[in-house]
Amino acid sequence: MSDNRKVSVGGQALIEGILMRGPKCSAMALRMPDGSISVERKDHVSIAKKYKFLGVPIIRGVASFIDSLVFGYKCMMESAEKTSFEDLKADDGEEMSKLDRWITDHFGEKMMTALTIIASVLGVLLAVFLFMWLPAQIFTWINKAANESISNFRGLFEGIMRMIIFVGYMFLVSKMPDIKRVFMYHGAEHKSIFCFENELELTVENVRKQSRFHPRCGTSFMFVMIIFSVIVSSIVSIAIPALTKITLVWVLIKIVLILPIVMGLGFEFIKYAGTHDNRCVKILSAPGLWMQRITTVEPTDDIIEVGIASLKAALYGIENETDSDDCVVSDVSENDIEEEYPAEVTDALSEKVEDYFDEDAAVEETLEEIAEVEKAEEIAEKPAAELKDQTVDEMMEELFKETSFNDEI
């Protein structure tokens, strides 16, 4: 097994982009409407790292799933706003209906956020209905017709029903053009990670050769969860059959008690499958890998470029600073700074930098001034001796990395 496979790297397809999560930071790369690639560091610390008890096996699976769901949802919303809302604004010149104009005037750019929230709530309700209530209710009807003679097979029946619903649902949505494009980004995410794990240079040519089917994929996780749910549900329903008599009660038990256990077991298996390749792993991973033939599509080169940009940023930092231990901005020259930022910004920061070298006694005072700039506290905490050893270019880079250049400059 290569050393790169030991590095924890994961990702998620977004709207016209990819979110990659490296061992020390996350990065989101988006293909913007003008054709450029926007790469942004996402400062996110897993809840399991904040609270040690959430890092315990099984429990960490539930914590990681919820954490990934919330963080991924935020990034999905952001990608939709940045890449899709631009298209809506481009159509402003066309004649709008009174309703469209009222929505635009009252909600503006918040409209996409509101629509996404509503869609997410409806999506959760639909998932509970399709994967929890419907299989349980169908089995209840069939079991009553069979005079309760198949009660011991509830877990197996519901598991098979969930598989059928899941595969059918994903197959249908995969035919939608917009979703198909998301699945292409999904494929690029897998290929990019495989390229890194195989210790190849992250180029379009190398990434294109990789498989788009990855054992640590969320699709595989879903199938593993369904398999484990069959086992756990069967044990509970056979051991305490009274819990299954009322469908609503049984659904609540599955959500509150069984689902967390299944999440934990599924998470531990996926982590194990990512670093092992034995027969058991192959058997349990097979359904998920097969399902990825639906949830991933061979990406085009422009989509692969987004995957590479996102992965490089998550591993090495923005602009591929390979020697960094954190996500940082790579080296830039004064000419690069002048081209990228307004003159008034560079002049203001240059004046602050020069203070470090003109008067040694004024170093502490200058540090306090820079601390007033938004998000520059970390610079202010550095030792004066360390700052004086930096070149002007390095100091400018540090300031650009830590500040947002708002009205405080």
For residues 182 and 175, is the Cβ–Cβ distance under 8 A?
no
With residues binned 3-state (H G I as helix, E B as strand, rest as coil), the percentages for the chain, rounded to 5, are: 70, 5, 25
Angle between helices 59-90 and 110-128 (to 10 degrees): 140
Closest of 41, 19, 44, 37 to residue 321, by C-alpha: 41
User: How far apart, in whole angstroms, are the C-alpha atoms of residue 28 and residue 20?
Assistant: 6
Return the CA Rg of the chain.
Answer: 26
pTM score over 0.85: no
Residues paired with residue 56 on neighbouring β-strands, in sequence order? none
Phi, psi of 296 (to 5 degrees): -125, 145
pLDDT truncated to tens, each residue of the chain (409 aa)? 555 556 678 899 999 999 998 877 889 999 999 899 999 988 777 787 788 888 888 888 888 888 888 888 888 888 888 887 555 455 554 555 666 566 666 665 566 667 767 877 888 899 899 999 999 999 999 999 999 889 889 999 999 999 999 999 999 999 998 899 999 999 999 999 999 989 999 999 999 999 999 887 888 888 888 889 999 999 998 999 888 888 889 999 999 889 999 989 988 888 887 777 788 888 888 888 889 999 999 999 999 999 999 999 988 876 544 443 444 433 333 344 344 444 544 555 555 555 444 444 454 555 455 545 544 445 545 554 454 445 545 555 555 554 443 333 3
Do 370 and 399 contact (CB within 8 A), yes or no? yes
Q: What is the pLDDT of residues 94-115, one digit of tens each?
A: 555 666 566 666 665 566 667 7
User: Is 180 within 8 Å of 302 (Cβ atoms)?
Assistant: no
| Cβ neighbours around 64 below 10 Å, total | 21
Tally the C-alpha atoms within 13 A of residue 274's C-alpha that lie toward its C-beta: 23
